[in-house]
Structure 1
Amino acid sequence: MDNRNEGFTGGFPDAVYNSQTVFRTLMDCMARPGSLGLVTPELMPPAPLGVAAGALMLTLCDHDTPVWLSPKIAQSNVPGWLAFHCGAPLTREKSEARFAFLEAGAHLPAIAHFALGAQDYPDRSTTLVIEIEALDGGRPLNLTGPGIRDVTHLAPRGLPAELLAQWTDNRALFPRGLDVVLTAGRQMIGLPRTCKITALEV
């Protein structure tokens, strides 16, 4: 198959309307951690980027937002696709990234290597977009915290073990710290830095 044009095709059919739709879905997911969001616009990002991750890339990234890509994504057609549709610069320095994208199964670097914001400007932190196998069928987790009534249950499959191991330290940095969006196909779940994640015994 000829993939030379993959960097120029597969974007939003209606960039303004579609990006607004995806942005509202993301904001709802971040306001209600653990709630499931669905990307409805048609798009075909280059592999290994999933549809929801690609939609977030088109929605959030622009020429003012340095982007860090996992090694596998960086070696794919995604950098060209990102440059053509968003004009966002790539960075190899995790601490400079406003957004970072990892494919399913990728090793998650230490959270402390990304931008964690400052006390006066906590929004100057990296948002991690992590593709996983599925948003159900995995190890059961409980989420508690702002935006959650009592407790939310979820069981993401393929969640990097490094994320759970580092999340308590990330949450302790509040108001600093980074936010995470889990994606699988067309679906997404928001994990803002304020939520507490408790892994349950299987």
Structure 2
Amino acid sequence: MDNKNESLIGGFPDAVFNAQNVFRVLMDCMARPGTLGAVLPPVAPPAPLGIAAGALLLTLCDHDTPVWLTPGLSKSALPEWIGFHTGAPLTREKIEARFAFAEVKAMLPSFAHFALGSQEYPDRSTTIIVEVEALDGGRLLQLSGPGIRETVQIAPKGLPEMFLRQWTDNRALFPRGGDVVLTAGRQLIALPRTCKITALEA
């Protein structure tokens, strides 16, 4: 299938209802960091973007939300898919992006290159959606902070190598800083900037 045809298919069957469903899942996960959420609506974004990441893109992005893509995603049929289904503009400038998407094993730029908001408007930051190989089976991480009763543990497999160091720097900027959503297949875990992440010994 060529890129033109691929861009026309794979969106939400019921755009309004499906987007509302995905948004509720995301908000629940943001309110309870470390909680595993699942995308139920059928959606088929162009490879290499996964289902949950594609559903978030369709839900969150529109003509007012510039989107940054990794080089791998930019070379796929995804830009045309985004244009057809959301009308969201693409930007090469990370600091202009409201949302950024990185596929599995892509090199993730430093969070500092993206918009981090301001003290007055901390919400004017980039939300970064990072695909990983799986949301279990990886290095054990402990989460704490608002929305978490004591602690919760996650074990995403295939996190970018510098992710934990970048996250520590990002959290230190609070209330500024970016929020991250990890996705794999139909599943997602939200990591709001308030969340403290500690690597546990194996």
TM, length-normalised to structure 1: 0.99
Task: State the identity %.
Answer: 72
- Give the structure 2 partner of residue 123 of structure 1: 123
Deviation at 1:48, TM superposition (A): 0.6
Match of 1:194, SS state, is: coil
Q: Could you tell me which residue of structure 2 aligns to residue 34 of structure 1?
A: 34
Q: Which residue in 1 is equivalent to 2:172?
A: 172
Amino acid at match of 2:26: L
Shift of 1:4: 3.5
| Within-5 A mapping of 1:14-163 | 14-163=14-163
Runs of 4+ in 1 over 6 A off after TM superposition: none
Count of residue correspondences: 202
Q: CA deviation at 1:172?
A: 0.8
CA distance in structure 2 between the partners assigned to 1:110 and 1:25 by the alignment: 27
Quick check: 2:182–2:189 contact (8 Å CA) kept in 1? yes
For structure 2, the 5+ residue unaligned runs are none
AA aligned to 1:130 is V
Q: CA deviation at 1:2?
A: 4.4
Q: CA RMSD in A?
A: 0.7
User: AA paired with 2:111?
Assistant: I
Residue identity opposite 1:187 in structure 2 = Q
1:82 partner SS:
helix
Distance apart, 1:169 and its partner CA: 1.1
What displacement does 1:201 show?
1.3
For structure 1, the 5+ residue unaligned runs are none
Preserved CA contact (<8 Å) 2:142 2:197: yes
Contact residue 20 and residue 59 of structure 2 kept, 8 A: yes
Measure, in 2, the Cα distance between the counterparts of 1:130 and 1:6: 23
Q: Is the 8 A contact 2:4 2:80 kept in 1?
A: no
TM-score with structure 2 length normalisation?
0.99
Q: Alpha-carbon deviations, 1:29-85, whole Å to 9, x = none?
A: 000000000000001110011000000000000000000000000000000000000
